[in-house]
Amino acid sequence: MKRSIATMRNTTANLLLNPLYTTLLTMLQGDRHTTDRLIQTIRITYPHQSKQWWYEKAIDQVMRDRPLSR
């Protein structure tokens, strides 16, 4: 599936300007498509929250959904 140039630019801007995006991307093992999709879903669900809140919410969701290490 091809990604649009606008999407790639948005991802690049996120990497440069938002350390929370980088943290989330690392947590998702570098999967930018999944990272962007998760942020987009949260953004649509909570449109009146801040951008930082969206990233924090996504990080919380990933941490919550991870299986516990043994």
| C-beta separation of 54 from 15 below 8 A | no
| Distance (Å, whole) CA 25 – CA 27 | 5
Looking at the whole model, is its pTM more than 0.95?
A: no
Span 15-46, pLDDT tens digits: 556 899 999 999 999 999 999 999 999 999 99
What is the model's pLDDT at position 55?
A: 95
Percent with pLDDT over 70 in the chain: 71
Query: What spatial distance separates the first Cα and last Cα of the chain, rounded to whole Å?
Result: 36
